[in-house]
Every structure is written in C-alpha cells, then in structure tokens.
Structure 1
Amino acid sequence: MTGFSLKLKSKNGQFVVSDLNAGTTIADLKTKISQVTQINPSYLHILIGFPPKPLDLSHNDNSLSATGISSGDTLIVEEKIIQNIEDDAAFARRLQEEEDQEMLSASEVPSQDPSNPFVGILMKKIVPADNSCLFTSIGYVLNGKVSTDCGSFMRKIIATQVSADPVSYNDGVLGKPNAEYCEWIQRSESWGGAIEVAILSNFYGIEIDVVDIQNSIINRFGEDKNYGLRVFLLFDGIHYDPLYMESAAGDVPATMFPIEELGVYQQAELLAKEANSSRQFTDVEKFSLRCMQCDVMLVGQVQAQQHAKSTGHTNFGEI
C-alpha cells in the first residue's frame, strides 16, 4: 500500500505524521495523533476538509482510505473533554497539573523564544466584502486559505442549529420569527454577526475572538467552553477580516493559537486600540449607504434595517 503523510494543527503546534498507509486504522491514527499532540485519545476532536467538518472517530477498525482521508490532508486536532467520562487517573492528574501551572504562569510575560511558532507579528488578511466576510474569515483561520465557498455550508450549519432550538432562538433573540431567520441566513446577501459567531464557535469546538475596533475590546465567543485553541477576527463595524501571525521563525503563518499563549492575545488587544485611535472603523449609526437594488440613499444601520423590512431589499453598499 502506498505510504502517505498527514499534517496536524493543534494547540501544541503543527506536526506531520508520515508513518501511515491507506490501511492504517482510525484506532492507530488516534494513537499516533495522541503521541505527537499529547492529547488523550478519548478526548480527540478532529476536523478535516474545507469547509472543515468533524471526522467520525467512532469506528476504530475503519481504514484511512475507507474514511476518505488522503495523503497530504490537514487535520485540525482539538481537545474536547466530555462530561462524566471515566478515564485514566494518571492522565486526569496530568490535566490538573497543567491547569495549576497555567494559573501560576498567567501573569508572566510570554516567552520571546524566536523558535516559538507563536511569537511574531499579528496581521490582517483581507477578504472580499461580499456580505459573507464573516464566513470567509472563519474559513481562513480554520484552513489557512481565502475561499468564498464555505459561506453556504456555514449558513446551513447555523440554520440547522437555530431551527432545532426554537426556545433558545426565539423571536426576541433573532429579531424575527425562527423559520424566517433560518430562511434569511441562508441567503448569500445576509450578514452574519454575534449569533452566527457563537454557533460556529460551538460547532467547530474553538474559541472565536472578535477584535472590535470601534469599542477597543475583544469579544470572546466560546470563552466558557474551555476550548484549547482560539482564532481572531478583526471587526470594523461592518466588515470582518481574519488575523494571522507571521512567525519570527519564518514558518507557515499561524491562524490558530493555544489559549495559554497570552502574547498573541495581548497583541490583539494592542491592535484594537491602535486601530481605534486611527479611526479604522465604521460608525454604523452614522455611515452612509446606498441600496444596490433601488439606489435609495440611507444613513446608519437603523435606516438600512427599516428599508430592508419595508422593501425586502438587503443588498447595500457603503458610500
């Protein structure tokens, strides 16, 4: 059988596993991934493809070829600890020791070792302003490339989640009836925001930190879930762009960062303040818009929402 390798992205860095073949089982794959990432096999949560989708790890005897994994694929490896699961006592103790160490070092200055892949300059990756910038940005931080193809897939994920939970996603939360929202969010011209970010954070098992330029703050989605990895999006009031790090070691730009890498978070905070001081944001209450469907001139988000409600027009351009 032809040998092949897989690329791994995890909270402990990026790795390549090469001692595999098409007949390697899922059980063997989990063991190898656990060895290099130091994540217990029972807690592995793996995403594959683009847009990234969870890999079914329940069938241990399935081969890589039967699962659809190909040589050169990139796997996003996350740690998801399931409530009430009984596990190895030694591993539980190691987890507690790691948590204690993180608490002790939380106030320390992050390491500036140039070989650390998470030491570098945090930069913005510009994505198209096509009403799907949120989804394109999330696709980039998950997969490392700009593609507008992931928007429709993510919109379906959101609609499915919202439709399945009409109590949590009621008219008051959504601003419209549940069924109407589910139809609306799947349109390519509909903008995404906090609700959509929260759902996608939960789906992908990763903290999504939105750097809000206008308010100089970082809104952390999934903060209470104890995810091991975080990504950053820059929000200027109407548009999202993903953030990535140019490594001092000259490695592949990083888009996902371990939660404990405080230096990256501090850079994001500084970026928000600097962008705010130079007014690199759009005041949604005062910006000028033009309806691209009837050429009516509008001022601010409220007028745009009222116009959309009365006419059904949802395609706007900033002036």
Structure 2
Amino acid sequence: MSLTLRCRGPNGQCTLSGVDTGMSIQAFLEMLSEKTGVSSGVIEILTGFPPKAIQVPQDGTVFSLALANGDTLTVRQSSTATTTATATAPQAAPSGSAVGAVSTSGTHTQDVPQGSADSTAATLYGDLPYVDEDEMLARAIAASLEGAAAPAAGPIALPAGRSSQQQLQQRRGPEEGEVSARTVSNAPAGGGPAPQSVLVPGGDGSCVVRRVIDSDNSCLFNAVGYVMERSRTKADDLRKVVAQVVASDPVTFNDSFLGKEVNEYCSWIQQKNNWGGAIELFILAQHYGREIAAFDIQTKRCDVYGQDKGYEDRALLIYDGLHYDAMAVAAFEGASEELDVTMFCPRCRDGEAIMAAAEELVAAAHAARQFSDTANFRLRCGVCQIGLKGEKEAVEHAKATGHSNFAEF
C-alpha cells in the first residue's frame, strides 16, 4: 500500500507521493531529510491537529507509524537533539524509544494545546491554514477554480470573475432552492453520480443526506450554521464569533498560532472572501458546545472537533477539497429539509448507525471521485497558457511570474 503525505519543514512544504508502507523507517527518514533539510538522525515527526509527536522506532517499516493517506506531517529537529548537538554528533533514537504517541484510529480528535504561547507556536508551526504565502496562494488558486472572489494572498491575488471552468458549468454552486449534488470536474466519465443519501442501518427508513451549501467562500460557516441552527445565512455572525474568541484569548491564539497578528486576523476572518479551516471549526465546536465531525471525501478521513470536551451531541460536515456541505438525518428518502435532524449522540447505538451511514455516503462520493485533488489536478495559466500539475506547481508559477489566472482542464 502506498500513501500520499503532505510535509512541512524548514525548507517549506511539499507532497510525498508513493510512500510505500513497507519502506524501512531509515529510508523514510532519509526521504524526509532530503525534502526538509533536517538531518535524518535528529528528525522529529508531528501529525494531527494540534500536531503531536509520533513514536519513531529505529527499526521497522512505515506501516508501524500508523499514518493515514492524506496526513500532514510537520518535520523539525528534535528538542533533545538541539540541547546535545554542541557536545556530540546527532544519534538516532534507540530502538523502541518514544518521542510521542500516534493514534491508530481513523477518527482524529481535534483540539488546541494547553501551555505557554511559545510552546503552542512551536507545536503548531506550519500546520495551520494561515501560515505562509504559499498556503495563501494555494487557497487563492482554489478559490479561482470555484469562480469566486479569491482570498488575499500576499502580493498576488486572483481576480474575481468567471473562470473557464465556471463558464463550462463545472463545479458550479446550486441555484436557488436546489439541493442536488455539486458537479466536480474530476468525476470519471460515465461513472454516474454518487448517492446523495444512505439509509441508516435499523433506522426505519431514515437516511443520512448531504445538504448543499452555496459556494461563496463562506461554505464552512454556513454549513456549521445549518447543522447547528438550521440556517444557511449564519456566516457573518459566526465569523464575528471566531474573531471575538481569538481576541479574548491572545495567549492560545497568538500571532504564531494564527500566522498573522491577532488584530489583523480578527479583521481578516470577518471578510467574506476568506476561507475558514481547522481553527474556526475548533472554535465553533466550543461555541456551540457540540462536536463537529468533518469528513474529507478524498481521504475518507473524519476529524472530530471538540471530541474530548464531554459534549453529548455531534453534527456532520463533508469536505470535497474546496468546499464544505452539511450532512443531516432525513426522516425518509426525499423528505423535506424541515424534517432534518442535524444533532445526534455519537456514543449510543443510533448514533453509531448514523456514523456508519455517513461513512458509507463519504465512501460512495470518494468512489465517484467527487473531490478536488488539489495536489494532482491539471491547471492552465490563463496568461501564458502553460500547463501545470497541482496547486504546488501553480503556486510556484504564480510567485515566479506574477500570473494569477488559472483554470482547470
């Protein structure tokens, strides 16, 4: 089995493709060293949100690290190595020694670390949506493919307007009152759409259904608004909530954590064109006192925000690489949204059945390729017409040339 992993380190970010789970630990560390510039003998690997150090044995294979396809790795020099480097050459950790722990579950708890601002920044560097210009450019490129106004991206920003992809009516937003599936350009020809609902086992006809949210750069906030308050127009209010929480706790949400100065972030997140991500989901789960489970179609991974807080209820979101929709439990196939149930107890028998149906719905969307593979999709620069593969090449091209008009083909 091979994995595709996203990696961040001192040399920037990269994608590791074709990582064989049978690869030796030493070969994997050498690969990471080549990509990140950190010596293989002193590498520390963190994953998850917040990033936590994982156990890296001296022997064994990548399989023993329990990594999942699509995981983001933060690579840095271990703090132990830093304190001993002046006295001795770096040594590999002894067999069986641990530098942390890794969860083997496919469902990942999402939380923000406790402790000092400095330790928070060190732990979280490079794994948040607002960290660097490359990430912001990638979001701007993704937003241009949505045919919407692009978020700010340092010195380069993509203009609003209709992209070639939008003109072809690919990946468009829903019309007024429409609840059908969003069309994605990388679905296989003739493959047919994935089901928009899946029956809940033992649910007497009830089903988990995907509820479409407009593609307007506020989909995360409006999806949360739907599952929490049954409203698709809560984005402005929820952006303000996030800003207020961040402003009230500048120790946890410090400049390093946010990737920008606190006051700047609070202004930035309240602008309609800027996207939300892990930080906002974490804050909104606490705001409502309920868990938010966010499924990623491409990896079929489920990240649960607020899972360790003792909240009784859970709500469901689904993410296709560019866009969030809501999920709900409908009373029966084709039932009106007025009958939707968007909260359930995840640890009771009915809740387990709902989660099973949600996982099946996500698996069906994955099989139909109803996701945007931002690492591998084909793009064309609208200025010089050069072909590019994935957001990484597009970001590099945008930074080198200043060209900022891309379309998928």
Map of 2:211 onto structure 1: 125
Q: Contact 1:190–1:314 (CA<8 Å) still a contact in 2? A: no
The reply to whether residue 254 of structure 1 matches residue 365 of structure 2 is no
What is the RMSD of the two structures over their aligned residues, measured on CA atoms? 3.6
The reply to whether residue 197 of structure 1 matches residue 281 of structure 2 is yes
* Matched ranges for 1:46-57 at <5 A: none
Secondary structure of 1:135's counterpart equals helix
Identify if the C-alpha distance between structure 1 residues 291 and 187 changes in structure 2 by more than 3 Å, giving closer, same or farther.
farther
Aligned with residue 202 of structure 2, among 112, 122, 132:
112
Most deviating of 225-234 and 304-313: 304-313
Map of 1:185 onto structure 2: 269
Q: Contact 1:231–1:256 (CA<8 Å) still a contact in 2? A: yes
- Deviation (angstroms), 1:273: 2.1
* Matched ranges for 1:267-306 at <5 A: 267-287=357-377, 300-302=390-392
- Deviation (angstroms), 1:225: 1.0
Q: Contact 1:189–1:315 (CA<8 Å) still a contact in 2? A: no
Q: Contact 1:217–1:272 (CA<8 Å) still a contact in 2? A: no
Amino acid at match of 1:202: Q
Structure 1: 5+ residue runs without aligned partners? 1-109
- Deviation (angstroms), 1:237: 0.8
Q: Contact 2:313–2:344 (CA<8 Å) still a contact in 1? A: yes
TM-score computed with the length of structure 1 as normaliser: 0.54
Map of 2:293 onto structure 1: 209
- Deviation (angstroms), 1:143: 2.6
- Deviation (angstroms), 1:272: 2.1
Map of 1:220 onto structure 2: 304
Structure 2: 5+ residue runs without aligned partners? 1-199
The reply to whether residue 165 of structure 1 matches residue 252 of structure 2 is no
Identify if the C-alpha distance between structure 1 residues 197 and 304 changes in structure 2 by more than 3 Å, giving closer, same or farther.
farther
Identify if the C-alpha distance between structure 1 residues 131 and 158 changes in structure 2 by more than 3 Å, giving closer, same or farther.
same
- Deviation (angstroms), 1:176: 2.2
Aligned with residue 135 of structure 1, among 213, 216, 221:
221
4+ runs of 1 displaced by more than 3 Å?
Answer: 248-251, 286-292, 295-319
Count of aligned positions: 204
Aligned with residue 265 of structure 1, among 341, 347, 355:
355
Amino acid at match of 2:280: E
- Deviation (angstroms), 1:289: 6.7
Most deviating of 165-174 and 209-218: 165-174
- Deviation (angstroms), 1:275: 1.8
Aligned with residue 242 of structure 1, among 326, 335, 340:
326
Q: Deviations over 1:55-93 (max 9, x none)?
A: xxxxxxxxxxxxxxxxxxxxxxxxxxxxxxxxxxxxxxx
Map of 1:18 onto structure 2: none
Q: Contact 1:217–1:269 (CA<8 Å) still a contact in 2? A: no
* Matched ranges for 1:61-76 at <5 A: none
Distance 1:230 1:195 in 2: 18
Identify if the C-alpha distance between structure 1 residues 124 and 111 changes in structure 2 by more than 3 Å, giving closer, same or farther.
closer
- Deviation (angstroms), 1:138: 1.0
Secondary structure of 1:258's counterpart equals coil
- Deviation (angstroms), 1:306: 7.6
Q: Contact 1:189–1:314 (CA<8 Å) still a contact in 2? A: no
Amino acid at match of 1:231: A
- Deviation (angstroms), 1:312: 12
